[in-house]
Chain A
């Protein structure tokens, strides 16, 4: 039986597979979680460092009037800050569990974040690819990045939670 170390699992050159990847956020609005998704993603895995970016304008929500509001200075300010960026500073893998530290750049502010999740692979698929997948989740306070919009509820409190959950599924295919 051979034991694969964490660094061996990440070793080599990997190509990002956007079709099999996603980046979503969820935030409580009054009573229920509101979810959105970024359609245009890029990511890399090189030398044990995981990096990624999402185009703010590719955000997808179910309300045509909410879309421009999310792009506006009240929220992401996509005109001034068209991309959200992420870069890991350390990845700790124990079995299939991942603890990751990194930096998130959002609306011109870069802050350290910690994400937890899992890693799958490397796995050989029937088409001859070797695949590696990450599922990661972190929680941020949106106001620390200047996304401050809110509305008062009639009997007190605010409509939108400051805590936002970010979830990514990232898949890579081995190049060499």
Chain B
């Protein structure tokens, strides 16, 4: 089983990327994770180019098509989804009938330095993924005051947070297994 992890933050010291690495450490044996770190290469969405997608978009498209599930960690800018993440999701949604995210199990988590932990960005990312047709987990992990949440080794300092993250990644694995065991496909 393979999961693609996408951070909605491009920052080198991103707390959301750190959160994805913490999540990867919690996955059961046999589950591998690739952290996708090329979001910055995705150009602005242009529907005129859907039929001839930029190579960087094709690479992300194929990367998602090849994995069993996706884990997204998003920061929150101005109470909403970061433009780079929404932009990538827009590319991945056209043509909608062909989107690699259709029926793909996806979990959304998030961290921010505010007291709300990117909770609105997570809700809106789930909404966008639902519109694209992903199998979105009805879970969230709002990680507030992100600058205080990791130790020097990148580990989550709060045991409770780690347990919640552990529960979410295991639910993602279960969703992937349930999809693989689905009796019938149209």
Contact = CB atoms under 8 A, between A and B. Distances in A.
**Which residue, A56, A64, A72, A79, has most C-beta atoms of chain B within 10 A?**
A72
B134 to A, nearest CB: 8
Contacts of B103: 72-73, 79
A64 B186 contact: no
B133 A69 contact: yes
Contacts of B133: 68-69, 71-74
A126 B99 CA distance: 50
Contact of B130 (A65, A78, A149): A149
A72 B148 CA distance: 38
A82 B96 contact: no
Interface in A33-74: 55-57, 64-65, 67-69, 71-74
B158 to A, nearest CB: 31
A80 interface: yes
B131 interface: yes
A161 to B, nearest CB: 19
A68 B136 CA distance: 15
A72 B136 CA distance: 10
A69 B186 contact: no
A72 to B, nearest CB: 3
Contacts, number: 44
A143 to B, nearest CB: 14
Interface residues of B, number: 17
B153 interface: no
B97 interface: yes
A77 B102 CA distance: 10
A73 B184 contact: no
Interface in B118-140: 130-136
Contacts of B97: 64, 67-68
Nearest to B99: A68
Nearest to A78: B186
Interface in B126-185: 130-136, 179, 182, 184-185
Nearest to A57: B186
Nearest to A74: B130
B137 to A, nearest CB: 10
Contact of A82 (B102, B131, B185): B185
Nearest to B93: A65
Contact of A73 (B99, B135, B185, B186): B135
Interface in B27-83: none
A45 to B, nearest CB: 25
5 contacts: A73-B134, A74-B131, A74-B133, A78-B186, A149-B130
Interface of B: 96-97, 99, 102-103, 130-136, 179, 182, 184-186
Given A68-B97, A72-B134, 5 more contacts: A68-B96, A68-B133, A72-B103, A72-B133, A80-B179
